[in-house]
């Protein structure tokens, strides 16, 4: 065990490792600029990430770099039938470093609450694809992609459980990346109306209207909205917890909250809005004082948040209305919050209805991963809902495992939050658990779980929860020993 804990300390790289890092940076530059067609803003980040990964030989840095690479979903390279993205390249390199640590006895593997459902989902996907898929080769390709992203959970949770002293800093890094991503999305949105194209927006996101919505470094606006809604919860809970105290500075927390809030509005994505509204109901009950029904600090925050909304909403509504030539475009979008027969959801609901009808013919195992055919303007394989996708592709068995993956980390996180012994850990667990609820809701109207970030996020949440529960058990055991002593 001492050997494992000692592995957390960085080794000073020798000359050969530095040379290897420089060569890796050059190679990464070629890959980033050529294969991924990255713009000048993104390529240096991936170059630096890969260089640091090779030089540092530290699995925890791999988690940080994986979080960074997961921000750049928009960049891709199509190699025949396969699509390669930066997060996949970084993960394979980081995973190789972790395997080396494991084989040297400097890391260990932990069992976690999501091992069984993830393994069950993989087995069910293989069986359904083998037995029932109309195109098994295509389904196997989709299954391989699923396994790759699920492996990011396995990697993240095990690396963090072997580096427990770095939990808090990992959460801060994740929040920092979210702030930078939101800042870029807003700058890109403003630049578009100034006649500058620096990426970061999606045109004609809605079927009935034509105007830009923020998508950041994600392929679609609804993916950025899901990511933004998830991360927004961390900022909100930390603000409620700390008030004028400093986590990374209350000004930074307020700035991050406002940036993410603006991006959430300008994404024009109702599923993420709905998820955020639902979880805000739980906020007043977080960390409430004894004998109080609700937390007065949470209520005070909600009042301030409404004031921020009152300032930001008219501005964003005016911009969208001018861009689309439609009166009160943002207001109309909000009024149709639960009407998923309008706008961009209409084409998705048609293919989802067809998928459910098809599923009825084979309800238990479905028809294989990504087995739905092309319907209208919706690409082959995609159903834009983790629930309906699981139901059609892997039947009721697959839906059961996917529901397990959605629900258990939320319950586990809330339980761990109640047992946390310091404010930072308690706020991170509660905020991430609320974020997991937003993720579950938003993923019912997007292909969010076909990205790396949700699995990395769940890995961090589960690792943090497990460590907190273990610490609580140890403290309880020590207390009993003292009483019996």
In 3D space, the residue among 429, 392, 397 whose CA is nearest the CA of residue 412 turns out to be 429
Assign 340 a pLDDT band (cuts: 50, 70, 90): low
pLDDT at 39 over 70: no
Least confident of 47-56, 247-256, 288-297: 47-56
Q: What pairs with residue 84 in β-bridges?
A: 77
Q: What pairs with residue 214 in β-bridges?
A: 201
pLDDT greater at residue 363 or residue 475: 363
Using CA atoms, how far apart are residues 170 and 58, in angstroms rounded to an integer? Answer: 14
Assign 84 a pLDDT band (cuts: 50, 70, 90): confident
Report the pLDDT value the prediction gives residue 205, as an integer from 0 to 100.
47
Mean local confidence (pLDDT), 104-114: 91
Residue 198, exposed/middle/buried by CB under 10 A (0-12, 13-18, 19+)? middle
pLDDT at 338 over 90: no
Least confident of 225-239, 304-318, 383-397: 304-318
pLDDT at 37 over 70: no
Write the pLDDT tens digit of every residue in 123-141. Answer: 999 999 999 999 999 999 9
Least confident of 111-120, 181-190, 339-348, 464-473: 339-348
Highest mean pLDDT, choosing among 20-34, 51-65, 204-218, 387-401:
387-401
Are 415 and 207 in contact, with CB atoms under 8 Å apart? Answer: no
Residue 365 sits at the vertex; the CA angle it makes with 362 and 371, to the nearest 5 degrees, is 80
Using CA atoms, how far apart are residues 289 and 295, in angstroms rounded to an integer? Answer: 7
Highest mean pLDDT, choosing among 278-282, 345-349, 449-453:
449-453
Assign 410 a pLDDT band (cuts: 50, 70, 90): very high
For tokens 């069986």, the residue is 127
Q: At what angle do helices 386-419 and 345-359 cross, to 10 degrees?
A: 100
Assign 150 a pLDDT band (cuts: 50, 70, 90): very high
pLDDT greater at residue 211 or residue 20: 211
What is the CB-side half-sphere exposure of residue 134 using CA atoms within 13 A? 10
Assign 42 a pLDDT band (cuts: 50, 70, 90): low
Using CA atoms, how far apart are residues 131 and 401, in angstroms rounded to an integer? Answer: 19
Least confident of 154-158, 232-236, 288-292, 303-307: 288-292
pLDDT at 41 over 50: no
Write the pLDDT tens digit of every residue in 416-465. Answer: 998 998 888 999 999 999 999 999 999 988 888 999 999 999 999 999 99
Using CA atoms, how far apart are residues 214 and 188, in angstroms rounded to an integer? Answer: 8
pLDDT greater at residue 405 or residue 193: 405
Looking at the chain, the whole-number percentage of residues with pLDDT higher than 70 is 78
Using CA atoms, how far apart are residues 319 and 313, in angstroms rounded to an integer? Answer: 10
Assign 246 a pLDDT band (cuts: 50, 70, 90): very low
**Average per-residue pLDDT for the chain:** 81
In 3D space, the residue among 412, 399, 378, 380 whose CA is nearest the CA of residue 449 turns out to be 399
Report if pTM > 0.85: yes
Are 330 and 309 in contact, with CB atoms under 8 Å apart? Answer: no
Domain boundaries, the chain: 2-108, 114-162+344-485, 196-343
Write the pLDDT tens digit of every residue in 224-239. Answer: 999 999 999 999 998 8
What is the CB-side half-sphere exposure of residue 169 using CA atoms within 13 A? 9
């Amino acid at each position: 065990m001492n050997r494992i804990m000692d592995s957390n300390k960085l080794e000073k790289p020798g000359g050969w490792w530095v040379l290897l890092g420089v060569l890796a940076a050059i190679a990464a530059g070629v890959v980033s600029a050529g294969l991924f067609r990255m713009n000048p803003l993104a390529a240096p980040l991936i170059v630096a990430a890969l260089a640091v990964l090779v030089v540092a030989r530290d699995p925890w840095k791999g988690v940080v770099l994986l979080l960074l690479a997961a921000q750049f979903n928009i960049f891709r390279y199509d190699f025949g039938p396969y699509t390669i993205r930066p997060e996949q390249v970084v993960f394979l390199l980081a995973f190789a470093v972790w395997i080396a640590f494991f084989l040297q006895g400097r890391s260990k593997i932990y069992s976690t609450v999501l091992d069984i459902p993830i393994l069950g989902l993989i087995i069910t996907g293989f069986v359904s694809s083998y037995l029932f898929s109309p195109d098994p080769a295509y389904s196997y390709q989709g299954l391989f992609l699923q396994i790759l992203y699920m492996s990011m959970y396995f990697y993240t949770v095990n690396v963090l459980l072997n580096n427990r002293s770095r939990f808090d800093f990992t959460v801060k890094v994740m929040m920092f990346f979210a702030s930078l991503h939101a800042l870029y999305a807003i700058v890109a949105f403003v630049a578009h109306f100034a006649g500058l194209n620096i990426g970061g927006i999606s045109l004609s996101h809605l079927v009935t209207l034509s105007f830009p919505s923020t998508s950041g470094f994600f392929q679609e606006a609804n993916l950025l909205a899901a990511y933004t809604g998830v991360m927004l919860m961390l900022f909100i809970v930390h603000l409620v917890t700390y008030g004028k105290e400093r986590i990374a500075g209350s000004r930074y927390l307020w700035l991050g909250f406002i940036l993410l809030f603006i991006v959430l509005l300008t994404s024009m994505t109702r599923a993420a809005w709905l998820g955020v509204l639902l979880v805000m109901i739980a906020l007043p009950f977080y960390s409430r004082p004894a004998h109080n029904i609700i937390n007065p600090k949470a209520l005070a925050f909600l009042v301030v948040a409404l004031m921020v909304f009152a300032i930001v909403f008219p501005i964003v509504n005016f911009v969208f209305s001018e861009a689309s030539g439609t009166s009160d475009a943002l207001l109309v979008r909000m009024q149709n919050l639960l009407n998923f027969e309008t706008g961009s959801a209409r084409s998705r609901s048609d293919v989802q209805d067809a998928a459910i009808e098809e599923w009825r013919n084979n309800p238990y195992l479905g028809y294989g991963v990504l087995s739905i055919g092309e319907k209208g303007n919706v690409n082959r394989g995609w159903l834009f809902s983790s629930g309906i996708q699981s139901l059609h592709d892997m039947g009721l068995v697959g839906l059961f495992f996917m529901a397990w993956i959605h629900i258990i980390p939320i319950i586990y996180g809330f339980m761990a939050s109640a047992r946390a012994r310091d404010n930072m850990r308690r706020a991170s667990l509660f905020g991430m658990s609320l974020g997991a609820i937003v993720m579950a809701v938003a993923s019912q109207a997007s292909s969010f779980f076909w990205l790396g970030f949700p699995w990395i996020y769940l890995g961090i949440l589960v690792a943090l929860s497990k460590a907190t529960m273990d610490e609580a058990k140890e403290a309880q055991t020590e207390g009993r020993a003292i009483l019996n002593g």
